[in-house]
Copies of this chain bind each other. A is one copy, B any other.
Amino acid sequence: MPIWAYDSPVARAATTSDVFNAIAEPQRREILVLLRAGERPVTELAQELGIAQPGASKHLRVLREVGLVRDRKAGKQRLYALDARGLRPIHEWTGGFERFWNESFDRLDAYVQDLKQSRQEE
């Protein structure tokens, strides 16, 4: 049996190549929000986020790899810009649950009460 056939435990889907994971990080979400105002250089973003420049660069790299941001060289600087297209699938996926959170809340409350009763544990 070849070595590569061994079952190797998987920790977590790579954050790279997965938009859901990319935006699971608060600071990365914040970066996207900041970029709505327009292109920005790394240092500026790092400053606004209150983190070190390497940290910002790393987050930007993840965002770039999933296609949520684009970068462009501008002299000494590198300007990052938002490319929100990748967020659309997520918007749509969550949208697929809209009718559930819109369900009548009288009924939901009743349901919750129901749960409270039927649950003795916790």
Residues of A within 8 A of B (CB): 12-13, 18, 20-21, 23-26, 29, 32-33, 36-40, 70-73, 81-85, 87-88, 90-91, 93-98, 100-101, 108, 111-112, 114-116, 118-122
A36 vs B100: C-alpha distance when bound (angstroms): 8
A39 touches B82 (CB 8 A): no
Q: Is the beta-carbon distance between B91 and A94 smaller than 8 angstroms?
A: yes
Q: What is the distance, in angstroms, from A115's C-beta to the closest C-beta of chain B?
A: 4
Would you list 18 pairs from A and B whose C-beta atoms are within 8 A, ordered by A residue?
A: A12-B25, A13-B24, A13-B25, A20-B29, A36-B100, A38-B122, A40-B119, A71-B115, A72-B115, A72-B119, A73-B121, A82-B97, A82-B100, A84-B100, A85-B101, A87-B94, A88-B94, A91-B97
A119 and B87 form a contact (CB under 8 A): no
Residue of B nearest to A112 (CB): B81
Q: Cα distance A72–B108 when bound, in Å?
A: 14
- 15 additional A-B residue pairs with CB within 8 Å, beyond A36-B96, A88-B94: A13-B24, A18-B24, A36-B100, A38-B116, A72-B119, A73-B119, A81-B112, A81-B115, A82-B97, A82-B100, A83-B108, A84-B101, A85-B101, A90-B94, A94-B94
